[in-house]
Amino acid sequence: MSKRTLFKNGMVITLDNTIGDFKRADVLIEGNKIVAIQPDLSIDDCEIIDAENQIVLPGFVDTHRHTWESLIRNIGADWSLNTYLQNIYFGNIGSRLRPLDGYIGNWIGSLEALEAGVTTILDWSMIESPEHADEWIRGLQEAGIRAVFAYGISGDGEYWNRESKLRHPEDSKRVKQQYFSSTDQLLTMGLAIRGPEFSHWEAAVSDIQLARELDIICSMHLGFGTWGSVDRSIEKLHKAGLLGPDLNFVHANTIHYDEFKMIAASGASISVTPEVEMMMGHGYPATGLFLEQGGRPTIGVDVVTSTGGDLFAQMKFTLQAERSRINEQLLKEGKMPEQLALSARDVLEFATIDGARALGLDHKIGSLTPGKEADIVMIDLTHLNLFPLNDPVGAVVQCANTHNVDSVFVAGKAIKRRGKMLDIDMNRLHQRAAESRNHLLTEAPVGYQTNK
């Protein structure tokens, strides 16, 4: 018999509308699967985890993260989008990445996500060579996170060559066969393409067709800054019959209103990265505009060069940015808001089940549902910022932070318990991170020097 674990007497937010939430219930997992959720389960021969004074909920899903940038975290606290692109892509930091740096960056960045209760990420990668791809994947594997490895083009000047397609189409096929021949594993594959606004149209079409040949998610940056309002890329994709649920559009701040309807009707997804978008100059987050056309946005951190690696902050930004947009419209009409435009539960769904759906993983994760895999987070309610508890969903979205994450499980395996990450050599982690950071930034033309 597989190992069984019983989470006892927790306050359970399932994010499964057919099951609902529980003020007090038990969650039984066997192996990597959820078996039952109900109060007062009496089970023999299992490990008991005391979940009293804990919120038990699904792991968070981040649909857009450049994970390797954990090596240069917080360097861009004052960077605009143009400054970020100049430093990362135009022959500077991105071109210095060795395979080893990709491994270390993905390893550390994934652990950062896990510590904050983010159990699934889409890793939007920058791949220079087959060796880089192998090491990027190794970093994800070693961390034990659930991830979509989105194979992308390298971070140097070649990124802006509009004529060229994905740099290594044959290697993407090799990677799919070598690492992702089975979908019954923590890591799955996607393509991170430049898309029609940053490559020639024929190149974008070819990249999308390659993703469909490989039967994987295809993600692209689109519709932000000064590009989206003039290019009408979504309309072009729609007219070409290329829109579909396997496409993921990152940002989409400045596309036209009717294009949101096209995305929603096709089942494609949008990744909103609100903090970075509002800070860097991408445009106002598209959350509400997509909702108005029947879509369900998802949430991403994007770049830890400029923000933290948790989804608590991003949920808050998502919620308040959209509420502010609607409130401002009412105030201009001489009205005071009577009811807020977006609910905390909506945003929690964006960060869990909607994110899982966008990545093609909602049959596995995104809710606490019997039969799904046990990606579980426990939020400790004994902390001063959370008790006395009155609204569990509001507490998670509006009040909680990484300090409150007591435990994290991925596919039933404990990654964090009682506030501590398990089986990590922190001294080794610090040393490897410092070595890679120094390689990337020493004499780098970003006005930053490391101390060796």
Q: Which tens digits make up the pLDDT trace of 365-374?
A: 999 999 999 9
Residue 227 CA to its chain's centroid (Å): 24
Question: In CATH, which of 2.30.40.10, 2.40.37.10, 3.40.30.10, 2.60.40.150 is domain 4-58+363-421?
Answer: 2.30.40.10
pTM for the full predicted model? 0.95
Averaged confidence pLDDT in the chain? 93
By C-alpha distance, which of 177, 140, 169 is closest to 153? 169
Confidence of residue 86 (pLDDT cuts 50, 70, 90): confident
* CB distance 164 to 174 below 8 Å: no
* CATH no., domain 60-356: 3.20.20.140
Q: Tell me the pLDDT tens digit for each residue of 399-415.
A: 999 999 999 999 999 99
Rounded to whole angstroms, the Cα distance separating 89 from 94 reads 6
pLDDT at 1: 58
* Same fold: 4-58+363-421 with 60-356: no
By C-alpha distance, which of 323, 328, 376, 375 is closest to 347? 323
Rounded to whole angstroms, the Cα distance separating 50 from 427 reads 31
Provide CB contacts within 8 A for 262, sequence distance 6+: 234, 235, 238, 243
Q: Which conformational region is residue 235 in: left (phi greater than 0), alpha (psi within -120 to 50 degrees), or beta?
A: alpha
Rounded to whole angstroms, the Cα distance separating 426 from 440 reads 21
Q: Tell me the pLDDT tens digit for each residue of 20-43.
A: 999 999 999 999 999 999 999 988
By C-alpha distance, which of 375, 367, 421 is closest to 146? 375
* CB distance 353 to 361 below 8 Å: no
Q: What's the average model confidence in pLDDT over 119-142?
A: 96
Q: Which residues of 291-316 are buried (b: 16+ CB within 10 A; e: fewer)?
A: bebebbbbbbbbbbbbbbbbbbbbbb
Q: Tell me the pLDDT tens digit for each residue of 197-247.
A: 988 999 999 999 999 999 999 999 999 987 656 689 999 999 999 999 999
Q: What's the average model confidence in pLDDT over 425-444?
A: 89
By C-alpha distance, which of 225, 290, 302 is closest to 263? 290
pLDDT at 164: 53
Confidence of residue 88 (pLDDT cuts 50, 70, 90): confident
The full set of domain ranges for the chain reads 4-58+363-421, 60-356
Q: Tell me the pLDDT tens digit for each residue of 149-193.
A: 999 976 555 555 555 556 678 899 999 999 999 889 999 999 999
Rounded to whole angstroms, the Cα distance separating 336 from 329 reads 10
pLDDT at position 447 over 50:
no
Per the model's pLDDT, the better-predicted residue between 116 and 449 turns out to be 116
